């Protein structure tokens, strides 16, 4: 659920939406790491000015914690 939202959201922001991939790695039963991979030219767009875009994604992920009890860490990497 959260990965689908982040993938669709990221594709709307970037210049090369076909390069966006989102993976989730479960660390334990209460923590997961979400990795957003995008074209290297789009990393700045995903992070945003002063980190506003990535912070918006983190806020959304924290909202999902209330529903499923899992904490999420989001990382943005270049392909």
What are the pLDDT digits (tens) for 20-77?
Answer: 999 999 999 899 999 999 999 999 999 999 999 999 988 888 888 778 888 999 999 9
| Alpha-carbon span 42 to 28, nearest angstrom | 30
Q: What is the pTM of this model?
A: 0.86
Q: What is the token pair recorded at 66?
A: 């209330």
Domains of the chain by residue range: 2-78
Where residue 1 falls among pLDDT bands split at 50, 70, 90?
A: confident
Q: From the options 3.40.50.360, 3.40.50.1000, 3.30.70.3000, 3.30.300.20, give the CATH code of 2-78.
A: 3.30.300.20
Distance from chain centroid for Cα 11: 11
């Amino acid at each position: 659920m959260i990965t689908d939202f982040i993938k669709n959201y990221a594709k709307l922001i970037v210049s090369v939406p076909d390069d966006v991939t989102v993976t989730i790695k479960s660390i334990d039963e209460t923590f997961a790491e979400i990795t957003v991979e995008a074209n290297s030219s789009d990393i700045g767009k995903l992070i945003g000015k002063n980190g506003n875009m990535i912070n918006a994604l983190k806020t959304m992920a924290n909202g999902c914690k209330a529903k499923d009890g899992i904490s999420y860490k989001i990382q943005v990497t270049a392909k």
